Chains A and B, each alone.
Chain A
Amino acid sequence: MWFDILPSFWEGTKITIELTLFSAVIAFFLAFAAGFGRLSKFRAVRLLAATYVEVFRGTSLFVQLFWIYFALPLFGIMLPKMVAGVLALSLNAGAYGSEIVRSTLISVPKGQSEAAIALNMTPWQRTRLVILPQALVMMLPAFGNLIIELLKGTALVSLITLSDLTFVATVLNSSIMRPTEIFSVLLIIYFVISLPFTKGIQWIEHRLSAGRY
């Protein structure tokens, strides 16, 4: 039996990893854009960023996914399953990520930007040389959590019949009816995928804070 089902698990695993990686990269950019946007001196930018964040934090990922996949076609936008999945996941994670970016940026002590002003740095230099490097170290643990959340969130795409890990498992289960084995394997695979992300973040965190505190 295992000989037959393992290859399909492997196919599902690949889809899940792809979904996670693509979404994580896009979410990362969205998080910075919206995080900085909320601290912008322009009202319009702040408003735009806040609207995005509140809409995507305030509604469930499940509904967002369905809306993008099933409702958008009514407006003439038909997206492939994979694109719809990545879009929903990254928009959602990006909204949460922007709060991480915003809150760490403002938690860098005020004396730091004052020292940068006293050295006559431009606003962009203050951010790039002084604020961001310090905020980044604080962001990492939270980003680590977010990426794991994202990985687990990918399971929802099975509901739009994208053949990810969870989808493969449910299909297999309905044909061979061995829930204990199948879902145990599923559990283990998700855990194994999450390990490199956790370790990777820890490694970066360690590198970035070396010698400092």
Chain B
Amino acid sequence: MSVPLKLIYNEDPTKNIGSEVRKNIVRPIVTYNNISKSYGDLQVLKNIDLEIAPGEKVALIGPSGSGKTTLARLLMTLEEPTSGTIEVEGEMLWHQRVNDKLIKANEKHLHQVRGNIGMVFQHFNLFPHMTILRNVMEAPRNVLGLSKDEAKERAVKMLEQVGLSSKIDAYPAQLSGGQKQRVAIARALVMRPKVMLFDEPTSALDPELVGEVLEVIKAIASEGEMAMLLITHEMDFAKDVADRILFFDQGKIIEQGPPKKIFNNPESERLQTFLSRFNRH
């Protein structure tokens, strides 16, 4: 199934340079410094260090329960790190510096910093009591403070981009899973975040609906400006879209590199085992 797309294709001048090089010439948009996260005795993230460059597309792969989702949720401020710090554009996310001491950030500080981040959830999480249009225009209107007309214009344009302008008056319950996820993508994009998180965006979809959602994400990725952190089990998609692949297992980044290397030349045994499970099908 093809989706009408009207995305603007901006060539990123640094696109063809490897991500390792890009990191050195631009300040990272996101930095995880020695991040750990535990739930009681269970440690789901173990001393993670990670930098994401502006516009970089990073795909996270790995077995379920390896901590990929938690990594994204920490950045979206849905979950608090147990230790370590996260910076967004050089600004601390979960902490504030007061008199040279790091203290826990308050809601006001979180509000300031998390405006740079957007997220698409596995289960869409559309607002069921709002029409599609209101789902997309509510945040621009209330959070960005746009006028009703401006917010509507922006929302309609965004819904056109994901091929759903005919559904603006429908309610989420009247849409297919693939359509819901496309609305959710539009709802996140309309806020123009600098970093977008995709948490297994196609895992809850029927197989025949996966394609339309992946196509939309690919088109967004090719715009280039926005950094993306993609958690996915779609290996071909990760290979296509990502500049860099991170392989996660048991709360750690086991191996990372450009897609070619990760998929053709996996070094660690765990990654080889993980990939062989996909190649069998």
Contact = CB atoms under 8 A, between A and B. Distances in A.
B78 A114 contact: yes
Interface in B67-111: 76-78, 107, 111
Given A111-B123, A119-B143, 15 more contacts: A112-B125, A114-B125, A115-B184, A117-B76, A117-B114, A118-B188, A119-B138, A119-B139, A120-B111, A122-B107, A211-B171, A212-B128, A212-B173, A213-B128, A213-B173
Contacts of A120: 111, 114-115, 139, 143, 191
Interface of B: 76-78, 107, 111, 114-115, 117-119, 121, 123, 125-129, 138-139, 142-143, 171, 173-174, 184, 187-188, 191
Given A112-B127, A212-B128, A118 B118 contact: yes
Contacts of B77: 117
Contacts of B118: 118-119
B138 A129 contact: yes
B129 A125 contact: no
A182 interface: no
A123 interface: yes
Contacts of A133: 129
A119 B128 CA distance: 16
A39 interface: no
Contacts, number: 66
B121 A114 contact: yes
Contacts of B191: 119-120
Q: Which 4 A-B pairs have the closest CB atoms?
A: A115-B125, A119-B139, A111-B125, A118-B119
Interface of A: 109, 111-112, 114-115, 117-123, 125, 129-130, 133-134, 137, 211-213
A21 to B, nearest CB: 28
Nearest to B141: A129
Nearest to A208: B129
A112 B129 CA distance: 11
Contacts of B119: 118
A125 B107 CA distance: 13
Given A115-B126, A129-B142, A134-B128, A123 B107 contact: yes
A125 B126 contact: no
Contacts of B142: 121, 125, 129
B27 to A, nearest CB: 22
A120 B195 CA distance: 13
A24 B181 CA distance: 42
Contacts of B115: 120
A123 B125 CA distance: 17
Q: Most chain-B Cβ atoms within 10 A of its Cβ — which of A111, A115, A119, A134?
A: A119
Nearest to B140: A119
Contacts of A112: 125, 127
A173 B153 CA distance: 70
A182 B272 CA distance: 87
A111 B118 CA distance: 14
Contacts of B171: 211-212
Nearest to B77: A117
B77 to A, nearest CB: 6
